[in-house]
Amino acid sequence: MDFTVPQIARMIDHSILQPQFTSEDVRQGCAVAAKYQVASVCVRPSDVPLAVELLHDTGVQVGTVIGFPHGDTSTEVKVAETEQAVARGATEIDMVINIGWLRSGDIAAVETEIKEIVRAAGEAHVKVILETAYLTDEEKLAACWAAERAGAAFVKTSTGFAPTGATLDDLALMRSAVSPKVQVKASGGIRSLDTLLAMASVGVTRFGSSATAEILEDLARRQVTTYARRA
């Protein structure tokens, strides 16, 4: 599977989510996103206004997280977070499901909450974070089905704060669970080009990573080497 550097860049949500990050860290992260022309940045809710300002007219979207990282805030709070994020300029919303509800078998409550977030997001794309590290395959499937029924644009593996992140098996399962109109986002532990390419081969179209520069520079080096060998 051959990709150009710009093609891979447009599949990356550059992650700027660590709690210890300063405003300067956010500025540097947004500079990386603009330099490589990634799909979006994913920033903490409080950083949305700064990211919107920094990325104005760059073509890079601003996304943020809702109910992050545990998913256990009330639906009303998640809705309020979503409405505020969109009002401040976020165009992508990565929400964490209520993991406890899902594991308790209350799929209806999970679906209703996602539907409320989708409604509050309006035109913004909603990505539903399952936090697969804590789920059985049956629970992962149920969450994917609920997300699609609720109108989500993406299903996503992880927050990056659980014991494990995205795996090929989970991504293949998630891709098989949803229709082509729902995309799959991998997040958590994506720090190399080889990992990204392997995940793309099972149908993943978006990747959350803080290793954007390393991944794209690696691809650029490989392409230069390939062209040199052919010359």
Question: Is 114 buried (19+), middle (13-18) or exposed (0-12) by CB count in 10 A?
Answer: buried
Question: Could you confirm whether 94 is annotated as catalytic?
Answer: yes
- Cis status of the peptide bond prior to 49, with omega within 30 of 0: no
Catalytic residue among 115, 140, 156, 170: 156
Exposure class string for 158-183: b at 16+ Cβ within 10 A, else e: bbbbbeebbbeebbbbbbebbeeebb
Catalytic residue among 94, 127, 140, 170: 94
H or E element: which one contains 86?
A: helix 75-87
125 has which bridge partners? Answer: 92
Catalytic residue among 78, 115, 127, 185: 185
Report whether 114 contacts 147 (CB < 8 A). yes
Report whether 61 contacts 30 (CB < 8 A). no
Question: Could you confirm whether 181 is annotated as catalytic?
Answer: no
Catalytic residue numbers, as ranges: 94, 156, 185
